């Protein structure tokens, strides 16, 4: 197309719009990040427990650590590292009998959970009878 020969203003403006779009596309083009997926997948697979099980359920959980600014380690290891103790304990028959005895003596669920070392929800389940054999 020769611009000097009989070109209307509309055609020139349309051509200018096309050129502007191409310039914007070049400026805003980002680096293709799909190439990083293989690296992330390899790093994700690297995090395993001593017994060989995965630390994370999936790549999303793994990436969520980076988004939140945490190192990609298991929550239990993270809690141990910073001295945070979990309120979840294994419910054994001894724990069940102790909770029932404390509840029978008139203590509240919160007091019993602090004494025994299980969560208030677990104490409530014991009170309801979910752990009765």
Structure tokens at 49: 């427990």
In a domain, 87, yes or no: no
Please tell me whether residues 39 and 77 are part of one structural domain.
yes
pTM > 0.75: yes or no:
no
Q: Is residue 119 domain-resident?
A: yes
What residue numbers bound the domain in which 100 lies? 93-128
What's the pLDDT at 23?
83
Asked whether residue 60 is assigned to any structural domain, the reply reads yes
Q: Does the pLDDT at position 103 exceed 90?
A: yes
CB 103 within 8 A of CB 118: no
What total of structural domains would you count in the chain?
A: 2
For residue range 5-57, list pLDDT tens digits in order. 667 888 888 888 999 888 887 777 666 666 666 666 666 666 666 777 766 66
Q: What is the DSSP letter of 85?
A: P
Specify the pLDDT at position 104.
93
In this structure, the answer to whether residues 39 and 68 fall within a common structural domain is yes
């Amino acid at each position: 197309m020769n611009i000097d020969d009989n070109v209307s203003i509309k055609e020139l403006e349309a051509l200018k719009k096309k050129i502007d779009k191409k310039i914007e596309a070049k400026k805003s083009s980002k680096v293709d990040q799909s190439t990083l997926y293989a690296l992330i997948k390899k790093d994700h697979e690297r995090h395993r427990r001593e017994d060989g099980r995965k630390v994370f359920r999936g790549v999303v959980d793994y990436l969520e650590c980076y988004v939140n600014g945490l190192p990609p380690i298991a929550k239990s290891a993270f809690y141990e590292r910073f001295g945070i103790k979990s309120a979840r304990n294994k419910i054994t028959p001894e724990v069940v009998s102790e909770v029932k005895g404390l509840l029978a003596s008139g203590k509240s669920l919160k007091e019993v959970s602090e004494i025994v070392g299980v969560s208030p929800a677990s104490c409530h389940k014991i009170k309801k009878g979910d752990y009765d054999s």
